[in-house]
Structure 1
Amino acid sequence: MALAIAFLILMVAAPAAVYGAEHTVGDTQGWNQGVNYDTWASGKTFTVGDTLVFNYDSSHKVDEVNLADYNGCSSSNSIKTYEDSPTKITLSKAGPSYYICPIPGHCANGMKLLVNVVAAGTPSGTPPTTTPATPAPPTTTTPANNDSPPPPPPPPKISPASSLHMNLVGVPLVLATLMAVMG
């Protein structure tokens, strides 16, 4: 019984882990010269929480850079440099991310990658957008002689992420409760 209660407390206290997809950059060709990374990235959806895996030998590196340095193949202001293969980079924010090989000539010969990262829950292929605040509907007054009740409020919107969170937390919680009752 005590074990079941401890398990229940652990399941309620532990955060639900949601794992993203893992994308091996360049697939079997890896992070290498002669690979078209624009073609590789096209048609793929990169979501916050996904991981990029760069596989390369000692003749390459990976630099995360800004747009200007990506376009100019410059690593002088790199955000982060990686030198150990396999390099695993978790995509942590929506928007474009830029990567180049800083070895002279490599980026200019195509070793550069741009991925457009979408927020979790964004439909596939839809770039993240900023939604302007929706103005409140105008308030209307009902004449005193109208006895009809006001319409009910709309149901709350439940996002796919909160639904997934509830499923990841709810199922173990139910199982732990059953174990405690039966235990």
Structure 2
Amino acid sequence: MASLSVGVACVLLVLCMVVPSLAAVYTVGDTSGWTTGIDYSTWTEGKTFKVGDTLVFKYPTFHTVDEVSSSDYSTCTVGNAIRSDNSGSTTVTLKAAGTHYFICGVVGHCGNGMKLAVKVESSSSTTATTTTTNPDFSYSSSNRSSFAAYFITWVALIVILVINVSLWQEF
């Protein structure tokens, strides 16, 4: 029974280390999504974005998610996107520290506030750099929070199974 207790303690220790290290998933604009009429600078307030976090843009397909340079962001210049998507669901993993800029490429939408600047901190204890790098656009609907839920569920089921098997062996 002592070896079982040690095994359970090890599993719980691993869970305690894995779960906090999982990156956050942010739905841009929360329930409103990526649309006009939202103040995205207010939306970012109080949020700490780290390398590895994910932004999920949900929007009607007449909008776009364009990754742009700082100057194109400031002037709402469309047509120079580094990357662009209009699928209606764009997932961007923030892979580097620095500020990342996104606008809607539909003429007039950026000028009406449909733009987002995200300051990303390093996920380690080192100071974040100020260079801007390109995040990868992803079109999958999977995210890390789903992985965490499945992982924890499977680990819990395995622990329960191990406990039950060891209890049956004692009889």
Q: What is the TM-score of this pair, normalised by structure 1?
A: 0.58
Cα deviation, residue 59, structure 1 = 1.9
Give me the identity figure in percent. 49
Whole-angstrom distance in 2 between the partners of 1:91 and 1:117: 7
Task: For residues 153-178 of structure 1, give each alpha carbon's deviation from its aligned partner in whole angstroms, at most 9, with x where no partner exists.
Answer: xxxxxxxxxxxxxxxxxxxxxxxxxx
> Residue 55 of structure 1 corresponds to which residue in structure 2?
58
> Residue 76 of structure 1 corresponds to which residue in structure 2?
79
Q: Cα gap change, 1:128/1:102 in structure 2, threshold over 3 Å: closer, same or farther?
A: same
Superposition pairs of residues 13-162 of structure 1, within 5 angstroms: 19-122=22-125, 128-129=128-129
Q: Kindly provide the amino acid, as one letter, of the partner of residue 104 in structure 1.
A: V
Q: Kindly provide the amino acid, as one letter, of the partner of residue 90 in structure 2.
A: T
Higher strand content, 1 or 2: 2
SS in 1 for 2:41: helix
SS in 2 for 1:38: helix
TM-align CA RMSD: 2.6
Whole-angstrom distance in 1 between the partners of 2:125 and 2:53: 13
Higher helix content, 1 or 2: 2
Cα deviation, residue 122, structure 1 = 3.9
Q: Cα gap change, 1:129/1:105 in structure 2, threshold over 3 Å: closer, same or farther?
A: closer
SS in 2 for 1:93: coil
Whole-angstrom distance in 2 between the partners of 1:19 and 1:51: 11
Cα deviation, residue 121, structure 1 = 2.4
Structure 2 gaps of 5+ residues are 1-17, 131-171
SS in 2 for 1:69: helix
Q: Cα gap change, 1:27/1:77 in structure 2, threshold over 3 Å: closer, same or farther?
A: same
Cα deviation, residue 129, structure 1 = 4.9
Whole-angstrom distance in 2 between the partners of 1:122 and 1:43: 19
> Residue 136 of structure 1 corresponds to which residue in structure 2?
none
- Count residues in correspondence: 116
